Amino acid sequence: MEVLFHFIFQLIKIGILASIYSFILIGILLFIGKFKPTDFIKRVKVEKKKYWFSFGLLISIGLFIFSFTYWGNHGLGDAPMIPIGHWETIENTNWTEYGYLKGKKTSDGINIETTHFKVTNDKLCGNLKSWFYDFENTYFVLDLKTDKITEFKTESEFNEYAENNKLPKSNELLSFEGNYRNHWGGIRFLLLP
Residue count (the chain):
193
* Rounded Cα distance, 162 and 158, in Å: 6
- Whether 110 and 177 share a structural domain: yes
Domain with 29, as residue range(s), is 2-66
CB-hemisphere CA count at 13 Å for 18?
A: 22
pTM reported for the whole predicted model: 0.87
Residue 71 domain-assigned? no
Separation of first and last alpha carbons in the chain: 20
- Whether 49 and 106 share a structural domain: no
pLDDT tens digits for 26-74? 999 999 999 998 999 999 999 999 999 999 999 999 999 999 999 999 9
Residue 147 domain-assigned? yes
Residue 193 domain-assigned? no
pLDDT-derived band of residue 3, with 50, 70 and 90 as boundaries? confident
Residue 73 domain-assigned? no
The dihedrals phi and psi of 129, each to the nearest 5 degrees, come to -145, 135
Residue 27 domain-assigned? yes
* Rounded Cα distance, 33 and 36, in Å: 5
Give which of 54, 51, 47, 61 is closest to 11, Cα–Cα: 61
- Whether 54 and 145 share a structural domain: no
DSSP 171: G
- Whether 37 and 119 share a structural domain: no
Read off the pLDDT of each residue in 106-133 and give the average, rounded to a whole number: 94
Domain count along the chain? 2
Residue 74 domain-assigned? no
Read off the pLDDT of each residue in 166-175 and give the average, rounded to a whole number: 97
